[in-house]
Amino acid sequence: MSAVALPASVPVPAQARSAPYRVMPGFNLSLGFTIFYLTLIVLIPLSAVFLKTFTMSWEGFWSAVSSERVVASYRLTFGAALIGAFVNVIFGGVVAWVLVRYNFPGKRLVDALVDLPFALPTAVAGITLTALYSSNGWFGRFIEGVLGIKVAFTPIGVVIALTFIGLPFVVRTVQPVLEDAERELEEAAASLGASALQTFIRVVFPTILPSLMTGFALAFARATGEYGSVIFIAGNMPMVSEITPLFIITKLEQYDYAGATAIAVVMLVVSFFLLLAINLLQAWARGKGGKK
């Protein structure tokens, strides 16, 4: 029996016309699976950290997180992470610009080298950086002998390690935005008499600002929890070059699980509010760019 074709004049219901074709299941099922997965992977482990901390008294908690040695590790960890992320925003943006806007011999090799900190084990990165920047290393011999600046086993070494592991986040965040940017706007600005600096500030920079802030947030978040690439070059000197993740490991080795989770809670809360502030600034930048 052949199918009967409807005449062209027969109206199609509005619901049938507007109903989109969805490959994935419905919204309720997808949302439920998403919440379940996030709860299993993220919320339960984080809640376990808080629950373990709640077994301590307030005096014990405050004593664990506010000792002079722990506060010094906070300053080094968050300060070095912020400095490393800021350095990566500047030079990572330059690297992304060069990779997108210029063609040169070995471009694909340079593009592949950007991802090296992703693939390289962090312990290997730490040993390599220590060998390069130690007093008898290739770079350290010159920096310390000529400039008189000691890099390895100092906070400077920590900043270098955190900058190394955070660079790919900025480059890979900014690079696709530059590739999709409309070159016609830059050409229009140049035809109207704008200089290269004015074109960059008024046209290019507002376009890549949200991606720069996203890369900054990712690099900062990665740096605050870094351990393997830092412990070798830091030297782990108390009050000088001891990072907070190492202090947490030390607490765990001493079977002080509550003290370790208390310090972890402080890092988690501070990192959350810093990332929240960065995300709000990013949303503001996107909104401002959209209005323009």
pLDDT confidence of residue 285: 67
Quote the tokens at residue 208.
């890549």
Residue 182 neighbours by CB distance under 10 Å:
10
Q: What is the pLDDT of residues 147-194, one digit of tens each?
A: 888 888 889 999 999 999 999 999 999 999 888 877 788 778 878 888
Q: Which amino acid is at 90?
A: I
Q: What is the pLDDT of residues 253-264, one digit of tens each?
A: 888 888 889 999
SS3 25: coil
pLDDT confidence of residue 209: 87
pLDDT at 59 over 70: yes
Q: Per-residue pLDDT averaged across 250-255, rounded?
A: 88
Quote the tokens at residue 192.
């109207």
Exposed (0-12), middle (13-18) or buried (19+): which is 274, by Cβ within 10 Å? middle
Cβ atoms of residues 90 and 258 within 8 Å? no
Task: Supply the DSSP symbol for 13.
Answer: P
Cβ atoms of residues 77 and 155 within 8 Å? no
Q: Per-residue pLDDT averaged across 8-22, rounded?
A: 52
SS3 26: coil
pLDDT confidence of residue 74: 92
Exposed (0-12), middle (13-18) or buried (19+): which is 131, by Cβ within 10 Å? middle
Q: Which amino acid is at 240?
A: V
Exposed (0-12), middle (13-18) or buried (19+): which is 38, by Cβ within 10 Å? exposed
71: phi then psi, degrees, rounded to nearest 5: -60, -40
The residue count of the chain comes to 292
CA atoms lying within 13 Å on the CB side of residue 40: 6
Q: Distance between CA atoms of 289 and 280, rounded to whole angstroms? A: 14
Quote the tokens at residue 227.
């351990």
Q: Which amino acid is at 76?
A: L
pLDDT above 70 as % of the chain: 89
pLDDT at 10 over 60: no
pLDDT confidence of residue 277: 81
Host H or E run for residue 78: helix 68-101
pLDDT confidence of residue 161: 93
pLDDT confidence of residue 1: 45
168: phi then psi, degrees, rounded to nearest 5: -60, -30
pLDDT confidence of residue 13: 53
pLDDT confidence of residue 24: 59
Give the angle 112-118-122 at the CA atoms, nearest 5°: 130
pLDDT confidence of residue 172: 92
pLDDT confidence of residue 221: 86
pLDDT confidence of residue 159: 94
Q: What is the pLDDT of residues 80-135, one digit of tens each?
A: 999 999 999 999 999 999 999 888 898 899 999 998 888 888 888 889 898 899 88
Please write down the long-range contacts of 21-30, taking CB distance under 8 Å and 24 or more positions apart. Answer: none
Q: Per-residue pLDDT averaged across 31-55, rounded?
A: 86
Residue-averaged pLDDT of the chain: 84
pLDDT at 3 over 60: no
Q: Of residues 33 and 291, which shows the higher confidence score?
A: 33
15-24 burial, b at 16+ Cβ within 10 Å, e below that, comes to eeeeeeeeee
| Phi-psi sector, 71: left (phi>0), alpha (psi -120 to 50), beta | alpha
